[in-house]
């Protein structure tokens, strides 16, 4: 039988432990991030490294660029990953909610068109043929693209409409915001798209370069002919940096809640860590780092805490990072 002293000690110990746990929970610092599945591998890599030395929990979701901005403009996240610029609708939503943001380019991507790894009949594809395939729904079989291709059903896999990759592809290839055939298999999870194309001999899809690099044993990237008479260019870091991979080279972004950056030291520290370590970590996850001068400009821009966007609410093909930053007054 327990003595009153032992019972009292047990209760006191329990209360002390509970108070300690409550206190720990109360002071736990959390940085909430969501958005683009394309940018996710970069931000996840940064978050993993940052948490090794900082007593901060960083959560990273991947609900798509559009889904991420919905949360961000409701004040639910501190940072939003984006594979395209913030749209006018999202600009308005943030403004209505009193959310100011700092727009930070953090890497380049070579948006990659892929086919099944066992497809041995298509060697390259033109931007015009991509538009013919993806802008409308009349192309059902491979031989409708080129008569030398087999009479085989074309199975298409691509990002959902909440994806920034979807928006960029519509602008860059189909020439119009939101113009895209609907009879394809959509997903915000790029790994689902990889699985779809790799398991279907007639498959074609598009997504960020890192997902191709991670699955090149079962996928084949198609070189792109930007304009008639120009050579077909394979997606690669070198082709992105020298400007030859067009029109599917694009910048990737994080958007930082300006209030969080100013008043939450852990958010400011995380973003500084992100920009400082991006050259190394971006390369590790198979995207293309910005030139050193551009990272310096982006870092200075963040230090100045200038809110706003350098875009007019729509993606823009071929924009230079320094020109973008200089637009934000």
Q: What is the mean pLDDT of the chain?
A: 91
Report the pLDDT value the prediction gives residue 26, as an integer from 0 to 100. Answer: 42
56: three-class secondary structure by DSSP = strand
Burial 152-168 (b: 16+ CB within 10 A, else e): eebbbbbbbebbbbbbb
Look at residue 1 and tell me whether its pLDDT is greater than 60: no
pTM of the model: 0.85
Residue 101 sits at φ, ψ, to 5 deg, of -140, 155
Look at residue 7 and tell me whether its pLDDT is greater than 60: no
Binned at pLDDT 50, 70 and 90, residue 244 comes out as very high
Q: What percent of the chain has pLDDT over 90?
A: 83
Which segments of the chain are extended strands (E)? 29-35, 56-60, 79-82, 101-110, 112-116, 125-126, 155-159, 185-187, 203-207, 219-221, 224-225, 249-257
Q: How far is CA 30 from CA 26, 77, 99, in A?
A: 11, 10, 19
Look at residue 21 and tell me whether its pLDDT is greater than 50: no
Look at residue 256 and tell me whether its pLDDT is greater than 50: yes
Residue 307, token pair as written in the block: 């809110």
Look at residue 10 and tell me whether its pLDDT is greater than 80: no
Report the pLDDT value the prediction gives residue 179, as an integer from 0 to 100. Answer: 95
Mean pLDDT of 138-153: 96
**Using alpha carbons only, what angle is made at residue 127 by residues 126 and 132, rounded to the nearest 5 degrees?**
95
**323 or 69, which is more confident?**
69
The closest of 258, 298, 263, 328 to 72, measured between CA atoms, is 258
Report the pLDDT value the prediction gives residue 316, as an integer from 0 to 100. Answer: 75
Q: Is the dihedral of CA 83, 84, 89, 90 positive or negative?
A: positive
Instruction: Give 271-323 pLDDT, tens digit per residue.
Output: 999 999 999 999 999 999 999 999 999 999 999 999 999 998 877 777 789 88
Weakest mean pLDDT among 6-15, 114-123, 227-236: 6-15
Report the pLDDT value the prediction gives residue 27, as an integer from 0 to 100. Answer: 55
Mean pLDDT of 53-79: 96
Instruction: Give 165-215 pLDDT, tens digit per residue.
Output: 999 999 999 999 899 999 999 998 999 999 999 999 999 999 999 999 999
Look at residue 83 and tell me whether its pLDDT is greater than 60: yes
204: three-class secondary structure by DSSP = strand
């Amino acid at each position: 039988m327990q003595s009153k002293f032992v019972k009292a000690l047990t209760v006191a110990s329990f209360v002390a432990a509970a108070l300690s746990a409550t206190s720990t929970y109360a002071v736990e610092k959390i940085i909430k991030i969501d958005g683009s599945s394309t940018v996710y591998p970069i931000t996840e890599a940064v978050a993993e490294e940052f948490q090794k030395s900082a007593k901060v929990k960083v959560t990273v979701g991947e609900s798509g660029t559009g889904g991420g901005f919905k949360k961000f403009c409701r004040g639910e996240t501190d940072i939003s990953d984006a594979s395209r610029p913030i749209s006018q609708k999202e600009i308005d939503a943030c403004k209505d909610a009193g959310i100011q943001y700092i727009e930070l380019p953090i890497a380049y991507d070579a948006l990659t068109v892929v086919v099944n790894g066992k497809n041995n009949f298509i060697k390259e594809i033109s931007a015009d043929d991509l538009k013919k395939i993806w802008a409308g729904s009349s192309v059902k079989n491979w031989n409708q693209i080129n008569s030398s291709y087999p009479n085989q059903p074309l199975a298409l896999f691509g990002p959902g409409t909440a994806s920034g990759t979807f928006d960029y592809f519509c602008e860059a290839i189909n020439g119009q915001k939101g113009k895209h055939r609907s009879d394809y298999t959509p997903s915000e999870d790029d790994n689902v798209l990889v699985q779809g194309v790799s398991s279907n001999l007639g498959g074609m899809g598009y997504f960020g370069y890192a997902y191709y690099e991670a699955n090149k044993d079962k996928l084949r990237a198609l070189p792109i002919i930007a304009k008639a008479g120009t050579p077909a260019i394979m997606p690669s870091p070198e082709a992105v940096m020298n400007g030859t991979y067009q029109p599917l080279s694009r910048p990737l972004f994080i958007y930082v809640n300006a209030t969080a950056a100013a008043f939450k030291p852990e958010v400011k520290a995380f973003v500084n860590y992100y920009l400082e370590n991006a050259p190394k970590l971006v390369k590790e996850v198979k995207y293309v780092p910005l030139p050193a001068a551009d990272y310096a400009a982006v870092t200075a821009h963040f230090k100045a805490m200038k809110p706003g966007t350098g875009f007019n609410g729509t993606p823009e093909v071929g924009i230079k990072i320094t020109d973008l930053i200089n637009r934000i007054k």
